[in-house]
Amino acid sequence: MRSTNRLAFSATVIPRLLAGLVLALLLTSSTLISAEIHTPCLGPDTRNMLERLTEPRPMNEQEERCVEEQRQRNADKIEHEFRQLEEINKLLQENAKEIERMAQERQRSLANANLSFEFLAYTTGMDGSLFIAACLIDQSGTVYIFDSSKDPYNQSTLTIDEPSLNAAIRLAQSLGDQAWRPYMRGAHLGIRMWTMYRGSTKVMLEIDGDLAGMHTDARVAELLAFMDRWCRTDQITSRAHQLLSPVVTFSR
């Protein structure tokens, strides 16, 4: 296995993000209740600090009404901000689905190619999987990158330099079709897959995440290095780190 830093992904990206933000809001709310509710609502208390801590002064009717009104205003504010987060969640998921659809269209256009390469990244979990990114490379040396952290219509297309492309093609043509089985490593770690297609023949090069494993031919590492550079997989991982809640970080 290659020795690069790996990031494990949670499929509950947005719910986890929401949970963290809601917790922050609740903590903020408790501060607001103390600073913005009780202080302006309660009348002056001339007792020393020890007496105020050990024998809280009961509130009168006016103070209780003031505190309740302030508390309701804070609850309404938290509810409004939570609804905003839910709307952001919805938009992010719709964005990811649209970019995934675009990647699948490009995959279909390469279905009959003599040679192509593919990198895919998804989250995994009890709630299903969430598209992170795809990188598709055709035999002409065009690289199509579909990144869910970007706008659907601001995706990247790159061209590989001819010497690197020819070297990768020679490597790809020399590799065998040995069958190999990935092993189960865990859950909710996501899935990242590096694949080569020679016509209708699918050759798995590497898989990492919930399942892990690598093609047995030692030359695969060199081909994967080409793909990582062309697909900018380190940048995709970095952007995914900003979008997702990290569960575990490990090295392969």
pLDDT score for 31: 45
CA distance 161 to 197: 20
CA distance 101 to 250: 31
Determine whether 194 is exposed, middle or buried from the number of CB atoms within 10 Å of its CB (0-12, 13-18, 19+): buried
Q: Considering Cα of 231, then 232, then 237, then 240, what sign does the dihedral take?
A: negative
CA distance 116 to 199: 8
Facing residues of 123 across strands? Answer: 130
| CB crowding 152-178: b at 16 or more within 10 Å, else e | beebeeeebeeeebeebbebbeebeee
What the block records as the tokens of 243 is 């979008």
**pTM metric for this prediction:** 0.68
What the block records as the tokens of 248 is 């575990």
Type of residue found at 241: H
CB atoms within 10 A of CB 248: 13
Contact 116, 122 (CB under 8 A): no
3-state secondary structure of 97: helix
Cα-only R_g, the chain: 27
CA distance 22 to 6: 28
Along the 252 residues of the chain, how does pLDDT read in single tens digits? 554 433 333 333 444 544 455 455 544 544 444 444 455 677 666 667 667 667 777 778 887 888 888 888 888 888 888 888 888 878 888 888 999 999 999 999 998 889 999 999 988 777 677 888 999 999 999 999 999 888 888 898 999 999 999 999 999 999 877 788 899 988 877 889 999 999 888 999 999 888 999 999 989 999 999 999 999 988 876 665 555 544 444 334
pLDDT score for 9: 36
Strand 116-123 to strand 191-198: parallel, antiparallel, or no bridges (unpaired)? antiparallel
